[in-house]
Structure 1
């Protein structure tokens, strides 16, 4: 995946690079002398994906921090004794708001965090762009039809853990986050039975903090849910006016 930094939309790049395994775009931008202010676009398919970020000079002294810290999720695992398979996974997720609340999915026993909740989404398939992935994954995991609105965040994580097939992986998760709506929400249903999603539900905007969210999902909701809820309510008032 190519990462491009610009100071203004449509401007010339101030940096451009291929995202390395384990690398975080926010950290890399800082070490280039810039702070990410917001994501602008994600274009192309998974084979040639380009993410453009709006950045601004931070004017601070840069102390390189090195590679993103790698967590180990397998109890008792000694990294000196294994050679994990390296995998960088590009995925797209959506913060979806409707008249029924925020759409959420529960991790199944096939994952390392069963019972935790997250945003719907998943890996970008061959030939797909991220918006198409959001629409497909949302339907597979919840039975809802998402209307993608805007690319709002990029998030990465890096850990050593077990894949559902038991393979030990050095896993670099790269998540593109979109704001979306659902004009005709219904009772969620998991069509992709037997996968990594055990359940899905609409969660009241007043109650979403009560769920046991994954760390990444909680961070995204804390940052973006208030704005997206206010926007949805404003648009609803405009429709009814």
Structure 2
């Protein structure tokens, strides 16, 4: 009988790009006490890039967020059992007083990091943003109906002025993916294909 002996030399497999992306980032100024464990928290929210003859609809974050005074798109958390499209229509009305018509899904963006909520709670936070394109056929002067919430004010902003607006870095990155061009700010239903700082702008628990 012949015995065949095989010898193998092994070494750890280098991390793949996917492994690198899967690493959870942390807030740059995060200080964690000994024994403190982050609580898992997931938030799924719907937003809209709303255009009209008056420009792009933007909302300013209130002091109930970690982005007070800065700007982003209208939208917010999806209620239990609520369709994302209906959620963003509701949120647009609550935050800006505008009646919008959703035209298409623009993109879905996720972010995952460890940081502190506005309450100071340490969280392992997973944010899922469902972003639609929408139009407002009859734009009016924006009014915040959800007083005391996460929106301090709202405004129609001409596309050429977006670069001068203090938009959070995560929303600035997203807006670069959902391309805003002057011809998109006329309220038309466009169908072209789409050529994270912090998502802590959310209600306190």
User: 1 CA distance for matches of 2:30 and 2:187?
Assistant: 51
The Cα shift of 1:134 comes to: 0.4
The Cα shift of 1:68 comes to: 4.2
Structure 1: 5+ residue runs without aligned partners?
1-61, 237-241
Structure 1: 4+ residue segments shifted above 6 A: none
Q: Secondary structure at the match of 1:83?
A: coil
Preserved contact between residue 52 and residue 187 of structure 2 (Cα < 8 Å)? no
CA RMSD in angstroms, aligned pairs only: 2.1
User: 1 CA distance for matches of 2:30 and 2:118?
Assistant: 18
Give the equivalent residue in structure 2 for 1:206.
160
The Cα shift of 1:117 comes to: 0.5
Is 1:180 the equivalent of 2:120? no
User: 1 CA distance for matches of 2:23 and 2:110?
Assistant: 9
Q: Secondary structure at the match of 2:159?
A: coil
User: Matched residue pairs, number?
Assistant: 173
Is 1:100 the equivalent of 2:54? yes
User: 2 CA distance for matches of 1:171 and 1:225?
Assistant: 27
Q: Secondary structure at the match of 2:65?
A: coil
Q: Secondary structure at the match of 2:88?
A: helix
Is 1:127 the equivalent of 2:81? yes
Deviations 1:20-56, CA, capped at 9 Å, x for gaps: xxxxxxxxxxxxxxxxxxxxxxxxxxxxxxxxxxxxx
The Cα shift of 1:118 comes to: 0.3
Is 1:71 the equivalent of 2:26? yes
Structure 2: 5+ residue runs without aligned partners?
1-15, 190-205
Which structure would you say has the larger Rg?
Answer: 2
Q: Secondary structure at the match of 1:217?
A: helix
Preserved contact between residue 150 and residue 180 of structure 1 (Cα < 8 Å)? yes
User: 2 CA distance for matches of 1:194 and 1:234?
Assistant: 30
User: 1 CA distance for matches of 2:42 and 2:81?
Assistant: 17
Structure 2 CA distance for partners of 1:235 and 1:180, relative to 1, 3 Å: closer
Preserved contact between residue 96 and residue 179 of structure 1 (Cα < 8 Å)? yes
User: 2 CA distance for matches of 1:170 and 1:145?
Assistant: 35
Of the three residues 156, 180, 191, the one matched with 2:110 is: 156
TM-score, normalized by length of structure 1? 0.66
TM-score, normalized by length of structure 2? 0.76
The Cα shift of 1:235 comes to: 4.1
